[in-house]
Amino acid sequence: MTNPFSAQIDLKATLQSGQVFHWHQNADNSWSGLIAEMPARVFEKDRRLVVAQGDPGVIARHFALDHPLDQITAAFPRDPMSQAALTACEGMRILRQPHWECTATFITSSMKQVAHIRSMSLAIRERFGRRVEGSNVSTYPSFDALAGASESALRACGLGYRAGNLLQTAQILAEGGLNLDAIVKQKTPMLRKSLTGLPGVGVKVANCILLFAYERLDAVPIDTWIHRILLTMRGGRDGTAAQLARYARRRLGPYAGYVQQYLFHHARSLKQSKTPVAKKS
DNA sequence: CGCCAGGGTCTCG
DNA sequence: CGAGACCATGGC
């Protein structure tokens, strides 16, 4: 068995591509976060992941160092947009996140920018989570903990109208209406249907959860960014959600979710770099 | 300061 | 099935 830590990774792209929202970069360029309730600190050296804190096995699994990145990138479409994204984001990985944490954060994600999803996530952790020794971030609260929260307290975390959805979903899970861990066995269409049964989970959010927490690497979340990109790929021809989903599945290949993530992160990075720097005084 | 953001849901045709 | 209205909030 080869050492999983010999696999390449772009740590910054992985942690800043809108999959996960609570990690922060330290002054020494290492990154700190929690994997479920385990404090972790990692850094990148020669395009490889190095563990400074936390169980290496748990970290290797969370960062999906076993994903066959060479095979995945070799299966990328040959079009210029996909290839440009591949070049720009080489080494980016799709994490294996805890089911509930991922579900909850993406319920709060609708019509929100990445920066604000992060601030909501941190506020929820601070208000309802548990402090852990060795971490300056609190755990994401369990659904049992959130099921007993008030909607107004959730709104105070900046959730707006999403507060009711998160609360109702937490209550359904607390009452045993769905077991997020047991449904891993379901085939993707059935699993997607199970997830969209939860308040605040439509097809797009379900695809995020499938991709980021259930290892369904062919799931393609179509948000406003990916919608625009698919539009361009189709020569400006728009379509219904179902048509675009079908197009993405065919066009982006067996690892369509990975391609989607590279396209998403690359497009956002480009826009960021186009933002003019603050003028000198 | 107006526009837009990793949308979901309900209604109405 | 498909299009539109509505929903809160903050970054930029």
Q: What is the CATH number of the domain that holds A253?
A: 1.10.1670.10
Segment A121-134 shows an average pLDDT of: 97
Residues 181-220 of A with CB under 7 A from strand B: 196, 198-206, 208
The verdict on A219 and A85 lying in the same domain is yes
The verdict on A142 and A185 lying in the same domain is yes
The verdict on A127 and A191 lying in the same domain is yes
Q: If pLDDT is split at 50, 70 and 90, which confidence band does A280 have? A: very low
Q: Which nucleotide is nearest to A241 (CA to C1')?
A: C2
Nearest protein residue by Cα to C1' of nucleotide B7: A110
pLDDT over 80 (residue A156): yes
Residues 86-145 of A with CB under 7 A from strand C: 111-113, 115-116, 119
Q: Write down the pLDDT at residue A275.
A: 60
Residues 6+ away with beta carbon under 8 Å from A16: A265
Measured CA A186 to C1' C2 distance, in angstroms: 30
Of all residues in chain A, what percent carry a pLDDT higher than 90? 95
The letter for the amino acid at A85 is A
C-alpha A79/C-alpha A88 separation (Å) is 14
pLDDT over 60 (residue A54): yes
Segment A94-122 shows an average pLDDT of: 98
Segment A69-86 shows an average pLDDT of: 98
Segment A186-202 shows an average pLDDT of: 98
- Round the average pLDDT of chain A to a whole number and report it: 96
- Domain encompassing residue A256: 77-89+215-271
Per-residue flag: A52 CB under 7 A of strand C: no
Q: Write down the pLDDT at residue A87.
A: 98
Q: Write down the pLDDT at residue A272.
A: 80
pLDDT over 60 (residue A108): yes
- A2 vs A145: which has the higher pLDDT: A145
The verdict on A183 and A226 lying in the same domain is no
Q: Write down the pLDDT at residue A115.
A: 97
Q: If pLDDT is split at 50, 70 and 90, which confidence band does A198 have? A: very high
CA distances from A59 to A43, A109, A182, A269 (A): 12, 25, 23, 26
Segment A177-203 shows an average pLDDT of: 98
Query: Tokens for A190?
Result: 């059935």
The verdict on A198 and A226 lying in the same domain is no
Which has the closest alpha carbon to A40: A19, A64, A57? A57
The verdict on A236 and A174 lying in the same domain is no
Question: How big is chain A by its Cα radius of gyration, in Å?
Answer: 19
C-alpha A198/C-alpha A205 separation (Å) is 11
Helix (H, G, I), strand (E, B) or coil at A24: strand
Which has the closest alpha carbon to A259: A210, A211, A195, A213? A211
Segment A177-188 shows an average pLDDT of: 98
The verdict on A189 and A133 lying in the same domain is yes
Residues 6+ away with beta carbon under 8 Å from A48: A5, A6, A7, A8, A9
Segment A166-175 shows an average pLDDT of: 98
Q: Which nucleotide is nearest to A17 (CA to C1')?
A: B6
Segment A217-224 shows an average pLDDT of: 98
Q: Write down the pLDDT at residue A273.
A: 79
Of all residues in chain A, what percent carry a pLDDT higher than 70? 97
Segment A186-200 shows an average pLDDT of: 97
The verdict on A21 and A54 lying in the same domain is yes
The verdict on A195 and A207 lying in the same domain is yes
Measured CA A211 to C1' C10 distance, in angstroms: 27
Q: Write down the pLDDT at residue A278.
A: 44
Q: Write down the pLDDT at residue A279.
A: 37
Q: Yes or no: say if A128 and A136 are a contact pair by the CB < 8 Å rule.
A: no
CATH number (domain holding residue A8): 3.30.310.260
The verdict on A81 and A59 lying in the same domain is no
Name the residue with tokens 């077991």.
Answer: A179
Which has the closest alpha carbon to A54: A66, A68, A67, A36? A36
Q: In chain C, which nucleotides are within 7 Å of a protein Cβ?
A: 1-3, 7-12
C-alpha A191/C-alpha A179 separation (Å) is 11
φ, ψ for residue A198, nearest 5 deg: -85, 140
Q: Which nucleotide is nearest to A21 (CA to C1')?
A: B6
Segment A90-97 shows an average pLDDT of: 98
Segment A100-127 shows an average pLDDT of: 98
